[in-house]
Structure 1
Amino acid sequence: MLALALSVLSSTWIFVVFKLYDIYKVQTLVAIIINYITACTVGFLLYDGPIGISEIMDTSWAWGPLAMGVLFITIFNLMAKTAQTLGVSVASVATKMSLVIPVVIGLIFYGEHLSFFQIIGILLALAAVYFASLKENGITINRKDLILPILVFLGSGAIDASIKYFEEKHLTDQEIPIFSSMVFGCAALSGLIYVGLGSKKQSLKLNIKNIIGGVALGIPNYFSIYFLIRALRSNNWSSAAVFTLNNVAIVMLSTLLGILLFKERLSIKNWGGVALAVISIVLVALF
């Protein structure tokens, strides 16, 4: 329970930092790459064991961080493109609705079971994500742009499903810090390659503001993954319950923090989404 709560707090802080980027004009792409470098460094500092290329390459999960690192930076850019083209609401809904993918995979491939009330809770969670993310004008998507939220949905679900797969099949408790660190390190490398390929198109600045922004994001980013893997290793809940509670609690808490810290206004539908989130958490957690 504690690991899940810490994962939720870490992930929610990420949204707060993104909001502060806009306020203080932090260059997002530079900060994101520094964030991944910071998260990688935190993992190495926490790892209690030998750190060497040969030791890492001998593990059964060595190929995983490379694939997930590329996926991380790709989905980040797709999320940014979706938010710019269709709005933040669409990007948020597509990202959080992806909890369906690891839930279904957990039921099919890992033999997990859900009670009737948990199934109702998960359905309410999906509705909660949708309504909590709606803006005043609702969500409208042109058919030609539909591919963007679909790719974000599939990519975000693939990330969660990959985390579950490696936690279930490959990782020991001792390896969680170094695995998380390697994922972020590969994401940083992918980001640097992306910047190198597109450097002529944009002016990137490595200044103190962007560095602080990256570090402020990197520490909670690391712990959001670290504590999520810890929560998945718990015997208290199935992975379906963990992913549902994690995603819905993040939506609910980030929405409330938006009101308290940034004076955001919620519509009746938004408040309805928060209420559904509370109900879904109760149903999934208690039953």
Structure 2
Amino acid sequence: MLFLALSILLSVLLLLNFRVFPRFEVNTFQAIVFNYPVCFLTGLALLPAGQSFTIDFSQTWTWLAFGLGIGFILTFLLSGASTQRMGITATSLANNLSLVIPVCFSLFVFRTGGKVFDTLNYLGLLLAVIAVGLSTYKKEAPTDDPGGTRTPSRRLGANVLLPVGVFLFYGATNTMINYMNLHYIPSTDKTIQVTLTMVIGAIFAGLVMLIIRLIQGTETFQPRSLIGAVTLGIPNFLSFYTLVMALSAFGGNGAFVYPVYNIGVILLAALLAAIFFREQLSTANKIGLVLAILAIGLISWQELASLFNQR
């Protein structure tokens, strides 16, 4: 549970970074691109004694990890496009509800043996999906169209597929993380090696996109983004590393880890946002947070019961 709790805390720290970037005029895109080299350096510092990082392209897991790193960047870009064209609400819901994909794969495809779900666990999983939807729901304000009438900020047509893409990409990357944890990370001392290879893929894709933007003139380098890259990169690597370690600790059981992780991030982020940024919650958000607490209790009731029995 320690790795899971650390992953939740570090993930919320990432959100706080994004929240304060505009205040300090940090270019978010550049901070994201440059945060991956910082991630790489952080991983190198954490390599076990006697190990050195090498890339062996003859290994299947190397290509999977490299491709997964590229997938991280592509998912980010897809989320940005969806937010701009279909709104924050649709994108946020698609992102958070994507947890059902790795959970279903964990239960019915990977069939991980770390935990057998009973009726209460399945009920908690259902409540988790409902809770995520309610706790992240935000009513978007209508905007004026060129004709002067008030219309919702969403556009239809092919853009409707953008939130669907966000849902599928986030679900696919999380599922692949779980798959690699089950089949290609047999011991915890290999976790950093695999994670660093993922980061290499993200560095490659991010720098290519940044160079293209610089050549096209749509982006100008801002040195301040390097500071944001440091504050973003260190918790970014550690949050992912501790999430993989949590999956290992629970036998690769994403059906347990992902709902608790997702809801834990939502609960802690909502608490800190209310304390530091005075963000208000709607009635739906409050109901969602209450259901989230109940869902965590039902999903992890066996673990909680064992803790009380030990006392």
Deviation of the 1:232 alpha carbon? 0.7
Contact 2:79–2:166 (CA under 8 A) maintained in structure 1: yes
> Which residue type is aligned with residue 147 of structure 1?
L
Could you say if the C-alpha distance between residues 52 and 132 of structure 1 is closer, same or farther in structure 2, counting changes exceeding 3 Å? closer
1:62 aligns to what SS in structure 2?
Answer: helix
Structure 2 partner of 1:123: 126
| CA displacement, residues 114-172 of structure 1 (integer Å, 9 cap, x when unaligned) | 21111111111111111111223489854422211111111001111111111100112
Deviation of the 1:57 alpha carbon? 3.4
Work out the number of aligned pairs and report it.
285
Greater alpha carbon shift after TM alignment, 17-26 vs 272-281: 17-26
Does residue 1:162 correspond to 2:165, yes or no?
no
2:218 aligns to what SS in structure 1?
Answer: coil
Does residue 1:280 correspond to 2:280, yes or no?
no
Does residue 1:203 correspond to 2:219, yes or no?
yes
Could you say if the C-alpha distance between residues 245 and 52 of structure 1 is closer, same or farther in structure 2, counting changes exceeding 3 Å? closer
CA distance in 1 between counterparts of 2:250 and 2:132 reads 26
CA distance in 2 between counterparts of 1:36 and 1:205 reads 16
> Which residue type is aligned with residue 46 of structure 1?
L
Contact 2:128–2:292 (CA under 8 A) maintained in structure 1: yes
Q: Percent identity between the aligned chains? A: 29
Structure 2 partner of 1:187: 202
Structure 2 partner of 1:213: 228
Does residue 1:245 correspond to 2:269, yes or no?
no
Structure 1 partner of 2:63: 63
Structure 1 partner of 2:280: 265
CA distance in 2 between counterparts of 1:260 and 1:17 reads 15
Q: How does 1:171-186 map to 2 (within 5 A)?
A: 171=185, 172-186=187-201
* C-alpha RMSD over aligned residues: 1.9
1:61 aligns to what SS in structure 2?
Answer: helix
Could you say if the C-alpha distance between residues 76 and 235 of structure 1 is closer, same or farther in structure 2, counting changes exceeding 3 Å? closer
Structure 1 partner of 2:167: 153
Could you say if the C-alpha distance between residues 50 and 236 of structure 1 is closer, same or farther in structure 2, counting changes exceeding 3 Å? closer
1:127 aligns to what SS in structure 2?
Answer: helix
Could you say if the C-alpha distance between residues 245 and 140 of structure 1 is closer, same or farther in structure 2, counting changes exceeding 3 Å? farther
Query: What is the TM-score when the length of structure 1 is the normalising length?
Result: 0.93
CA distance in 2 between counterparts of 1:96 and 1:36 reads 23
| CA displacement, residues 9-42 of structure 1 (integer Å, 9 cap, x when unaligned) | 1111111111111222211111001111111111
Deviation of the 1:51 alpha carbon? 2.7
| CA displacement, residues 154-198 of structure 1 (integer Å, 9 cap, x when unaligned) | 100111111111110011211111211221221011011112223
> Which residue type is aligned with residue 29 of structure 2?
L
Deviation of the 1:94 alpha carbon? 1.0
Does residue 1:51 correspond to 2:52, yes or no?
yes
> Which residue type is aligned with residue 263 of structure 2?
V
CA distance in 2 between counterparts of 1:37 and 1:286 reads 40
Q: Which runs of 5+ in 2 are unaligned?
A: 142-151, 303-311
Deviation of the 1:242 alpha carbon? 0.5
> Which residue type is aligned with residue 103 of structure 1?
V
Structure 2 partner of 1:114: 117
> Which residue type is aligned with residue 132 of structure 1?
S
CA distance in 2 between counterparts of 1:143 and 1:68 reads 30
Contact 1:40–1:183 (CA under 8 A) maintained in structure 2: no
Greater alpha carbon shift after TM alignment, 263-272 vs 193-202: 193-202
Contact 1:41–1:181 (CA under 8 A) maintained in structure 2: no
Higher CA-based Rg = 2
CA distance in 2 between counterparts of 1:2 and 1:190 reads 32
